[in-house]
């Protein structure tokens, strides 16, 4: 083999080695914070992301939950109550000190309650918004510097109820989820120039602890559920939540979060409905508001104009 042939072989070898090095750099494990990771949707998201190449900082409040999460592969538990600023600041310092950076935030922590809108106390409404709306606001503010550095992503777990306030006992919860929709839409515009991508995942009814906790709140009137139950209360709670056994596990919600975090062109909004009726509920509510908003106003659009507008939106989304 002549000298030129040897140099060609060496050059090819070096290029291949460099390609491997750069590939490994590009595929460095990305870290994601998940709030409310102790159970339900948050735990499923934590398990799914950590099993699919991400390192997860899993936020929870109780010592037993923190210990259980910390024992998982590719997971570090973080003491985190999204209503406590000291917790949030300490969590941000902890994540920063780990040296991995932070690519994503999943604002999952949330609470629910079934209460008639006219009868709900101000205390209840404030509590729901403190967790479901101000929680994500506080978390994003604290972790935004790290997200800007990584040009990362933040997603909120909303709800179909954020589009459909169609039940007398769903109003206070729906209020908070409607507000979360507005927050994420405005934040996406606000952060567009920073390179941080913002989205929201809107699940329907899945098998999660939020239903059981809501039933318990209705039974006891207590919002912080660390109290022990009597045998009678436990039996009543089991009877009230027996219907939950027919619900689907929230794996599809975790898959939507994975798509948002990993896809080159994530969607700003994901509806994850376990059954058609849940999807229809949200779309019907949106269509009803559209018709009501358009009716008898100076610039009312005709049916043909509405259809043409819809066609334009569908074409842009393809």
Instruction: Provide the residue ranges of all domains of the chain, joining segments of one domain with +.
Output: 29-274, 285-318
- Please state, in angstroms and rounded to a whole number, the distance separating the CA atoms of residues 132 and 129: 5
Query: What are 156's strand-pairing partners?
Result: 107, 200
- Please state, in angstroms and rounded to a whole number, the distance separating the CA atoms of residues 144 and 146: 5
Q: For residue range 235-268, what is the model confidence (pLDDT) as tens digits?
A: 666 665 554 556 668 899 999 999 999 999 999 9
pLDDT band at 77 (very low <50, low <70, confident <90, very high): very high
pLDDT at 95: 98
- Asked if 56 contacts 29 with a C-beta cutoff of 8 angstroms, the reply is no
pLDDT at 22: 37
pLDDT band at 317 (very low <50, low <70, confident <90, very high): confident
- Calculate mean pLDDT across residues 43-64: 96
- Calculate mean pLDDT across residues 40-52: 96
- Calculate mean pLDDT across residues 135-157: 98
pLDDT at 26: 44
Q: Is 67 exposed, middle or buried (0-12, 13-18, 19+ CB in 10 A)?
A: exposed
Average pLDDT, the chain: 86
Nearest CA to 220 among 113, 126, 127? 113
Q: What count of other Cβ atoms lies within 10 Å of the Cβ of residue 127? A: 19
Nearest CA to 184 among 165, 163, 214, 215? 163
Percent of the chain with pLDDT over 90: 69
The answer for residues whose C-beta is within 8 angstroms of residue 119's C-beta and 6 or more apart is none
Domain 29-274, what fold?
Rossmann fold (3.40.50)
Check whether 42 has a pLDDT greater than 70: yes
Q: Lowest-pLDDT range, 16-20, 26-30, 117-121?
A: 16-20
- Asked if 260 contacts 107 with a C-beta cutoff of 8 angstroms, the reply is no
Nearest CA to 182 among 133, 135, 141? 133
Q: What count of other Cβ atoms lies within 10 Å of the Cβ of residue 216? A: 23
pLDDT at 16: 47
Percent of the chain with pLDDT over 70: 78
Query: What are 78's strand-pairing partners?
Result: 59
pTM score, whole prediction: 0.82
Residue found by looking up tokens 């072989």 in the block: 9
pLDDT band at 11 (very low <50, low <70, confident <90, very high): very low
pLDDT at 205: 72
Check whether 116 has a pLDDT greater than 80: yes
- Please state, in angstroms and rounded to a whole number, the distance separating the CA atoms of residues 300 and 290: 11
pLDDT at 166: 86
DSSP string, 54-120: -EEEEEESSHHHHHHHHTSTTEEEEE--TT-HHHHHHHHHHHHHHSS---EEEE---------TTT-
Check whether 25 has a pLDDT greater than 90: no
- Please state, in angstroms and rounded to a whole number, the distance separating the CA atoms of residues 93 and 226: 27
pLDDT at 24: 37
Active site residues: 173
Q: For residue range 263-303, what is the model confidence (pLDDT) as tens digits?
A: 999 999 999 998 898 899 999 999 999 999 999 999 999 99
DSSP string, the chain: --HHHHHHHHHHHHHHHHHHHHHHHHTPPPEEEESSTTSHHHHHHHHHHHHTT-EEEEEESSHHHHHHHHTSTTEEEEE--TT-HHHHHHHHHHHHHHSS---EEEE---------TTT--HHHHHHHHHHHTHHHHHHHHHHHHHHHHHT-EEEEE--GGGT----TTTHHHHHHHHHHHHHHHHHHHHTGGGT-EEEEEEE-S-S-HHHHHHHHHHHH--SS--SPPPHHHHHHHHHHTGGGGGSPPTHHHHHHHHHHHH-SS--SEEEE-SSHHHHHHHHHHHHHHHHHHHTTSTTPPPHHHHHHHHHHHHHHH-
Q: For residue range 158-204, what is the model confidence (pLDDT) as tens digits?
A: 999 999 998 888 899 999 999 999 999 999 999 999 999 999 999 98
Check whether 44 has a pLDDT greater than 60: yes
């Amino acid at each position: 083999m002549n000298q030129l042939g040897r140099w060609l072989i060496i050059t090819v070898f070096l290029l291949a080695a460099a390609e491997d090095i750069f590939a490994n750099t590009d595929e460095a494990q990305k870290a994601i914070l998940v709030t409310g990771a102790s159970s339900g949707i948050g735990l499923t998201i934590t398990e799914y992301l950590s099993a699919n190449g991400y390192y997860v900082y899993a936020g929870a409040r109780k010592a037993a939950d923190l210990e259980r999460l910390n024992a998982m592969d590719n997971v570090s538990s973080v003491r985190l109550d999204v209503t406590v600023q000291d917790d949030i600041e300490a969590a941000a310092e902890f994540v920063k000190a780990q040296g991995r950076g932070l690519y994503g935030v999943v604002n999952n922590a949330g609470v629910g309650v079934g209460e008639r809108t006219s009868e709900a106390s101000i205390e209840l409404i404030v509590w729901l918004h403190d967790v479901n709306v101000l929680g994500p606001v506080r978390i994003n503010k604290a972790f935004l510097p790290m997200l800007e550095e990584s040009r990362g992503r933040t997603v909120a777990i909303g709800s179909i109820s954020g589009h459909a306030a169609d039940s007398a006992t769903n109003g206070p919860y729906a209020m908070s989820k409607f507000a979360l929709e507005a927050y994420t839409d405005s934040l996406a515009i606000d952060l567009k120039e920073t390179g941080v991508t913002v989205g929201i995942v809107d699940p329907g009814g899945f098998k999660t602890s939020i239903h059981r906790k809501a039933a318990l709140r209705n039974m006891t009137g207590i919002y912080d559920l660390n109290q022990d139950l009597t045998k009678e209360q436990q039996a009543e709670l089991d009877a009230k939540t027996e219907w939950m056994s027919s619900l689907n596990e929230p794996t599809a919600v975790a898959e939507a979060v994975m798509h948002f975090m990993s896809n080159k062109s994530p969607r700003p909004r994901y509806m994850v409905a376990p059954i058609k009726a849940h999807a229809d509920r949200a779309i019907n509510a949106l269509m009803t508001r559209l018709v009501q908003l358009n009716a008898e106003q100076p610039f009312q659009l005709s049916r043909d104009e509405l259809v043409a507008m819809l066609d334009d939106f569908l074409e842009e989304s393809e």
